[in-house]
Structure 1
Amino acid sequence: MGLKDLANEVLSKFDPKNDDPNAGGFDNLPDGEYDVTLAKAEHKIFEKSGWECLSFENEVTVGEMSGRKEFINMSFDQSSTPEFVLNKNIKLVAKLAAVIGLTLTDEDWEDETTMAQAFQDGIGSQYVLKVTSSPNKKDPTKPYRNFDFIAYDDEADNPNEQYPDISDEDLPY
């Protein structure tokens, strides 16, 4: 598709006099299960708000949504995060670690920076990300996003393992 075709497609749904050019394009993944890879784990501090979180970047590897990313940001600020959310976030971190075969130590749980560092060995790990939404009574236009991480039962179930391992000795050059 050339630039002209792309522009026609994008502009057919955009009113330049009234629409925000920065809106859209950042839609979350719809509810469902996705084969993903852990693309990044980092401690983020948002400049404007100062909000801190542990962030996991999950990239869809196969299917119609291939290449799309889901960012899961979790706060551990005990002064502003409700206890049930803190508990859920801790369980999510532990679940992801278990799914990718990472053993977290007491030192890893020190803060968001040490947790992000602990997950560096898991970058590139593959698993299934399950996304579900639940109603938000305070703001129905923004449902709560719920996540679960599911390990592949068997390496044969991993759709990204369809290619054989080839060593340097097997290459003809």
Structure 2
Amino acid sequence: MSLRDLASKGLAGFDPKTDEIVSASGLPAGDYLTSVTAIEHRAFDSGWDCFGVSFQVMEGEHEGQTENVNISFAEKSKSGKAIPDFILDRNIKFAAKLGSFLGVDVTDEDFDFDNETDIHEHLGQKLHGHEGLLTTLKVTVRPNKKDPSNPYTSYDLEEAEQPEELELDDSDLPSNMNPNSDAPLPSENDDPFANSSQDNTIPDDQLPFD
């Protein structure tokens, strides 16, 4: 997208006299066909860490854009306040759903660790290596009254049809790559220099090195 296209999109409906400049940079609410591009344990300079998954949009207006979903299994906030059970339940089900789509069982045992960092690292290792899955990422955005520039975003997943894998056998290969092909193989008679009387030896004093 050119700078002019970006300006046209960003200024559409924007009132420079009253609207705030800062806005959320993630995907707007909607359903997106995406490819899972990264699954890992993420740690930040602030000291906060999480279980992270990256989704790249495969089609539509936002094709090529990456949405980073970072979820935590910490039971208390930095201030010591308990994280509501519904948030932890949602995060657990997100990990389990992702695992199911990837063909990996995520059970209650995967959350039986002493702290959230161990859980994040464990899930990152368990699901890593299964990138490439196509899935529908459902993005829900809700306003944040305390900080309008940072709305609440939640995610869900739906299965998506996977591309068919190409199955090739020897008959599908070009004749020169097919070991069972009847095509003739090169022989000494095919050597264009086989019957040449020319001496192609290069004298030592004409070599490009000592």
For normalisation by structure 2, the TM-score amounts to: 0.61
Report the equivalent of 2:141: 133
Name stretches of at least 5 consecutive residues in structure 1 with no aligned partner. Answer: 14-22
Report the equivalent of 2:83: 82
Contact 1:100 1:126 (8 Å CA) reproduced: no
1:44 to 31, 42, 45: 42
Shift of 1:86: 1.9
Output the CA distance in 1 between the equivalents of 2:6 and 2:143.
32
Amino acid at match of 1:57: S
Output the CA distance in 2 between the equivalents of 1:54 and 1:164.
30
Amino acid at match of 2:40: E
Report the equivalent of 1:167: 168
Contact 1:102 1:122 (8 Å CA) reproduced: no
Amino acid at match of 1:145: T
SS at match of 1:122: coil
Contact 1:35 1:126 (8 Å CA) reproduced: yes
Q: Which has the larger radius of gyration?
A: 2
| Paired residues, number | 150
- 1:35 paired to 2:33: yes
Closer, same or farther in 2 for the Cα pair 1:107/1:12, shift >3 Å? closer
Cα RMSD, aligned residues only: 2.9
Contact 1:107 1:114 (8 Å CA) reproduced: no
SS at match of 2:128: helix
Name stretches of at least 5 consecutive residues in structure 2 with no aligned partner. Answer: 9-20, 114-118, 178-210
Matches within 5 A, 1:56-67: 56-67=53-64
Contact 1:29 1:70 (8 Å CA) reproduced: yes
Output the CA distance in 2 between the equivalents of 1:129 and 1:90.
16
Amino acid at match of 1:113: E
Report the equivalent of 1:149: 157
Contact 2:142 2:152 (8 Å CA) reproduced: yes
Amino acid at match of 1:37: S
Deviations 1:24-48 (A, max 9, x none): 8x8211211111111111111101x
Looking at secondary structure, tell me which structure has more strand per residue: 1
Report the equivalent of 2:99: 97
Shift of 1:165: 1.2
Contact 2:141 2:152 (8 Å CA) reproduced: yes
Percent of residue pairs bearing the same amino acid type:
37
Amino acid at match of 2:142: S
Output the CA distance in 2 between the equivalents of 1:94 and 1:12.
40
Closer, same or farther in 2 for the Cα pair 1:12/1:96, shift >3 Å? closer
Amino acid at match of 2:166: D
Contact 2:110 2:123 (8 Å CA) reproduced: yes
SS at match of 2:34: strand
